[in-house]
A and B are shown apart, each in its own frame.
Chain A
């Protein structure tokens, strides 16, 4: 606490405003030291050379060349982006109607519903992935039920260790993350506005499509970005549920750091993946922008 300036007092001199903002200093310094610093270092390492199990400060773009041209890595990245895109679509198709119904159809229950979603957001992420093994396994809940009812004779073994299992688990823990920004965007939409458009003769879908969706699109875009980033960079889910056919980019990056210790290549792989992720998110935002008009 230094000087007392009224909230949002941007009118004062620059110096005054800088002094007034000193409470920000610890957090800002912390971010510089442990977020910006490490990220810059990672970029620098991505152009280092790796030889004899050692990284050397000899600048090279070979890591990027390898990241972009290695066929197996390219296949993994494409699969990762594909799974992440599918997961993002399904997550949005679940989270949007869910938030809409909670906010506008059952407005009195929305606090309870939102809280339940928050509980699942904070309920351990590893634990939930692990639970899907129990649910999708050959003797798991789904197979045991289907066999028990007599719908199938033999358990379906392909449920687990497949891209499908990865997609189900990712969807499961990303829906709450997407509900958060969508739900909060909807709280700013007046129900009276939706009511008015109905009174003017708009049908249920016209109200959603023409009024609610454009107004809440910023929240949907944030949700889409969060979901896609998280789905594309996750490595625990593919490792535990993906099997050999469900390997994703996060696992490949982790291997360079955990097993082969090739930090420069791992860094280049990670930065390449982030680049691809940013491109796809740009595309998603463009498409959402068209839909939200």
Chain B
């Protein structure tokens, strides 16, 4: 690749400053939350006092937080286990369609990203209680999480599968392999890293999801919904600690996912 550095070298400073400023703006709120989570006084203002872990201790001692944590983790695991395989299959199925049909189907499958979260949430809420007659629960929320995670799984898997030569499967079938054998021994090893990556991405989506859970989760609150409830009530410094935990968890999941999905089959 020819990098057009020559002309830009005259004034890369302005460009570098602009980029640094945007990155600083993007990271500013994250830095503030993490910094204040270690502040030793319960005031969310400058100057900060000393270093303390008491807000983290408070989280561990809080039964409401522990319960919500359990539900959040459950939701993330189920979302990954359901949305992962379903999205992988969908990505494989997409490859076998003609280009025009594939583009259309792909567009539909990416809808949950484009449709406003609020619209999805109220539609699911009405459907779940008004039509199906079910009570709002964590299960209902997980159904929404899977819906929201699927586009991300399909997008990453589509990139991983698009380079795969399906003639390899055909060849192994001709040599006597069953469809499952052909998939397991030829395709699976090639797409496994991307599969794991996309499942992790699905877990990250679930972990951070808040709007659908708020509307259909009922009393079974997850951590983001708990954060939402407490933010509105008061200034609570333990929220910074909770937020930091959530932030670190989603970042680690996204990091792991990115490392795997960048490996292309």
Residues of A at the B interface (CB closer than 8 Å) are 1-2, 4-11, 17, 20-28, 30-31, 34-35, 37-39, 41-42, 45, 55, 94, 97-98, 101-102, 104-108, 113, 115-120, 122-135, 137, 139-141, 144-145, 148, 169, 172, 175-176, 191-192, 194-195, 198, 204, 225-226, 229-230, 232-236, 239-240, 250, 253-254, 257-258, 263, 266-267, 270, 274, 277
Contact = CB atoms under 8 A, between A and B. Distances in A.
B33 A127 contact: yes
A139 B25 CA distance: 20
B46 A139 contact: yes
**Contact size class for B?**
35 or more
A270 B119 contact: yes
A45 B125 CA distance: 12
A135 B246 CA distance: 20
Contacts of B243: 124, 126-127, 130-131
Contacts of B143: 34
Q: Which of B112, B117, B128, B183 has the most CB of A within 10 A?
A: B117
18 contacts: A2-B179, A5-B166, A10-B100, A34-B124, A98-B19, A124-B246, A124-B247, A127-B227, A130-B243, A131-B243, A139-B43, A139-B46, A175-B22, A192-B2, A225-B114, A229-B115, A233-B117, A257-B122
A233 to B, nearest CB: 3
Interface stretch (B58-66, B101-109, B190-198): B101-109
B44 interface: yes
B265 interface: no
Nearest to A107: B3
A30 B19 contact: no
A270 B15 contact: no
Contact of B250 (A4, A34, A117, A122): A122
A263 B130 contact: yes
B4 A198 contact: yes
Contact of B116 (A30, A55, A274): A274
Contacts of B254: 118-119, 122
A135 B90 contact: no
Interface string B225-241: 00110011001000100
A119 B15 CA distance: 22
Contacts of A11: 98
Contact of A10 (B99, B119, B253): B99
A250 B147 CA distance: 21
A155 to B, nearest CB: 10
A10 B36 CA distance: 57
A3 to B, nearest CB: 8
Given A6-B167, A130-B231, A27 B45 contact: no
Contacts of B1: 107, 191
Contacts of A119: 251, 254-255
Contact of A45 (B47, B100, B108, B126): B126
Nearest to B96: A20
Interface string B173-197: 1000001101100000000000000
Nearest to A195: B4
A68 B206 CA distance: 35
A66 B125 CA distance: 22
Interface string B4-41: 11011000100110110011011111101100100000
Contacts of A17: 96-98, 101
Contacts of A5: 96, 166, 170
Nearest to B116: A233
A24 B224 contact: no
Interface in B132-171: 143-144, 146-147, 150, 154, 162, 164-167, 169-170
A26 B122 contact: no
Given A4-B167, A239-B232, 14 more contacts: A4-B169, A27-B109, A30-B147, A34-B124, A94-B22, A102-B19, A106-B19, A108-B3, A122-B208, A123-B251, A133-B235, A140-B45, A234-B118, A253-B118
Q: Which of A94, A113, A124, A277 has the most CB of B within 10 A?
A: A124
Contacts of B128: 38
B131 to A, nearest CB: 5
Contact of B166 (A4, A106, A130, A198): A4
A127 B247 contact: yes
A230 B18 CA distance: 25
Contacts of A274: 116, 119
B28 A135 contact: yes
A202 B36 CA distance: 50
Contact of B15 (A4, A25, A94, A106): A106
